[in-house]
Amino acid sequence: MAKKKKEVPITGITVSKEDDFSGWYTELLNKAELADIRYNIKGFVVYREWATITINKMYRKYEALLEKNDHLPLTMPSLIPESNFLLEAQHVEGFAPEVFWVTEAGSSGKLAERLALRPTSETALYKMYSLWIQSYKDLPFKRYLSCQVWRYEGKMTRPFFRGREFHWIEAHDVFATMEGAMGQVKQDMEMTYQMLQDELAIPIIFFERPQWDKFAGALKTFAADALMGSGKVLQLPSTHLLGQNFSKPFNVKFVDKDGNEKFGYQTCYGPAQSRNYGAMIAYLGDDKGLVLPFDLAPVQIVIIPIIYKSKEDLILSKAKMIYNKFKDEYVVKLDDSDESVGNKFYYWELKGVPIRIEVGPKDIEKNQVVIVKRHSGEKFTIKDEELQNFIGKIAENYTKEIKEKSIIDFESQVECVYEKDAAIEAINNGKIVCCGFCSIDMDAYRCAEVVEKEIGGEVRGIRVDEEKHEFATCLICGKPAGCTVYIAKSY
C-alpha cells in the first residue's frame, strides 16, 4: 500500500516587516509569486500573474480618470531617432547616461542613425504634436500613453520599486497660456491624491522639487512622496511644468484668435504603475503577506469548505451555492482543493484576498457561515439570510477601512530642527527633518550636497500644501532662509 504523501505546511512570511523590511519584501515577492528576477537580463523582471492582474486593474482606473479629465489615448513607437533626442539640450544631458541604444538591425548591420529605446516620450510625441496642433481651436491638447520605458538604472534594482524597464502612464498636454499649463499641474496632483490615497490607500504628500532634482528640461517638477514609515519616503507620480522649453525646439505652435503664431505651453505627468504597485504592497502588507484594496484584489472572496467525513456533499453543496450567489458581482474562488484547511487559510491570507467565507458542518446546522476580513483579521458569524447584505457592506467599506488604518499623519513624522547635529540625530531616529534652507534654486546645490554627505538624507523640496513652519536661517550655511524644506531618506 502506497504511503500517503506528507503534506508540506504553508506558512506566512517568516521575516518581520518591522525588523527587516528588505528581507520581508523579498520573501513576500517570492512566496506570494508576484515577481521573478531570474530572467537573464539584469534589471529586467518578470511580473507574475497575481501582480499583473492588479496592475492591469490599476491601469483601467487611472485611464478612466484621465479620460474623465479630457485626455485621449495614444499608442506610440518605442524607438526614438537620436535626431529627435538631441533637440532639447537639457533633456538629452539628463537622460543620456540612462539610454538603451539600438545600433544594428537584421542582416543590414549598422543603422544610419542610432535609435533610443524610449526613456520617456517627450522627444517622440512632440515631433507629432507639431504636425497635429495648428490652431487655438486644437487647444488644450491632452493625450496619454500606457506603455513601458527603459532606463539603464545604475543603482541597485528592486522589483517594482526600481528597475531598467518599468510600466507607466504618460500624459502630455499643450495649452495656450502658462496659466492653463499650471492648472493642469494642479489637476495632475489632484488625480494623484485620488488614485494613490483613495484607491491604493497609500499616504502621500506633494513637494516642489529643488531645481537640481527636477525633470530634465522642465521649469518645475512636483512629485508625490509616499510616506513609507520610519522616516523613509518613496517618490511616486511626478508632474512637470515644461513651459515652452520643448515647444520651441519641437516647433509646437498654434495660431491664436488674432492670427498670431505662438508656441504652446506644455506639461507632462508620469504615474509609474509598477512603482505604485510596489509602494502599495510594501506599505499595506503585513507579516501574513499581502493586504490589497478590495477593487484591486485579483480574487475578492474565497470560500473555504471545512470538510468532515460523511458531510462532504452537504458542505460542498452549500459552498457552491454561496459561490453561485456572488460570482456575478465579485471575483470569487471556491477552494475545494485537497490542501488542509490550515494551508488554505495561510495561502489566501498570503495572497491578500479581502474576504474569506468558511463553511463547516456546524455552520450548516445553524444556517450560518463564518466570515473573516483579511486586513483586520476580524471574524463574524452571519446567518445565511443576512449574508448578501453583510458581504455588500464589507465590499463597500473595505478599502476605506484600510485607508483609515494606514494613513500616516505627516506631522507626526516630522521634526523641526535648527542645527545640523539635531538633523543628523532626527534622520538616524527615522524622522523627516523640517528646516530652513537658502532656496531650492541651483545656487543652493552646495548646501544640498552637505545634506546628503553629512546628514544622510535628501532635500525633498518645499511643500505644495500649506506650510506652517518658518525658519530664520539656512540649516547648512547660516544665511537667511529663503524657504522651508523637508529632508528624508528615500528608497
Please give the class, per CATH, of domain 21-284: alpha beta
User: What's the confidence (pLDDT) of residue 408?
Assistant: 79
Q: Are 435 and 487 in contact (CB under 8 A)?
A: yes
In the predicted structure, residue 205 carries a pLDDT above the cut 70: yes
Could you confirm whether domain 410-490 is CATH 3.30.110.30? yes
Q: What's the mean per-residue pLDDT of the chain?
A: 93
User: What's the confidence (pLDDT) of residue 1?
Assistant: 42
Domain ranges of the chain: 21-284, 299-396, 410-490
What's the length of the chain? 491
Q: Over the range 322-340, which residues count as b (16 or more CB within 10 Å of their CB) and which as e?
A: bbeebeeebebbbbbeebe
Q: Do domains 21-284 and 410-490 have the same CATH topology?
A: no
User: What's the confidence (pLDDT) of residue 10?
Assistant: 61
User: What's the confidence (pLDDT) of residue 96?
Assistant: 80
The SS3 call for residue 92 is helix
Q: HSE (CB half, 13 Å, CA atoms) of 454?
A: 13
Q: Are 337 and 348 in contact (CB under 8 A)?
A: no
Fold classification of 299-396 (topology level): Rossmann fold (3.40.50)
Rounded to an integer, what distance in angstroms lies between the CA atom of residue 142 and that of residue 122? Answer: 13
Numbers of helices and strands, H then E, in the chain = 15, 23
Residue 403: other Cβ atoms inside 10 A: 18
Q: Are 169 and 63 in contact (CB under 8 A)?
A: yes
Task: Select from 270, 53, 46 the least CA-distant residue to 159.
Answer: 46
pLDDT digits (tens, 9 = 90+) for 27-72: 999 999 999 999 999 889 999 999 999 999 999 999 999 999 999 9
pLDDT digits (tens, 9 = 90+) for 178-201: 999 999 999 999 999 999 999 999
User: What's the confidence (pLDDT) of residue 9?
Assistant: 57
For residues 94-105, give the mean pLDDT: 88
In 19-108 the beta strands, taken as DSSP E runs, fall at 35-36, 46-47, 72-74, 79-81, 100-105
Task: Select from 180, 261, 256, 182 the least CA-distant residue to 219.
Answer: 182
Q: Over the range 172-186, which residues count as b (16 or more CB within 10 Å of their CB) and which as e?
A: bbbbbeeebbbebbe
Q: Are 274 and 160 in contact (CB under 8 A)?
A: yes
For residues 268-296, give the mean pLDDT: 96
User: What's the confidence (pLDDT) of residue 156?
Assistant: 72
Q: Are 152 and 97 in contact (CB under 8 A)?
A: yes
Instruction: Tell me what percent of the residues of the chain surpass a pLDDT of 90.
Output: 85
Rounded to an integer, what distance in angstroms lies between the CA atom of residue 317 and that of residue 315? Answer: 5
Which range (2-16, 229-243, 348-362, 414-428) has the least confidence? 2-16
pLDDT digits (tens, 9 = 90+) for 342-357: 999 999 999 999 999 9
For residues 61-85, give the mean pLDDT: 96
Q: Which residue carries 511580473 as its cell?
A: 47
Task: Select from 282, 275, 347, 336 the least CA-distant residue to 307.
Answer: 336
Rounded to an integer, what distance in angstroms lies between the CA atom of residue 470 and that of residue 462? Answer: 12
The SS3 call for residue 160 is coil
In the predicted structure, residue 203 carries a pLDDT above the cut 80: yes
- C-alpha torsion sign, points 427, 433, 439, 442: positive
The grid coordinates listed for 112 are 544610419
Q: Are 129 and 252 in contact (CB under 8 A)?
A: yes
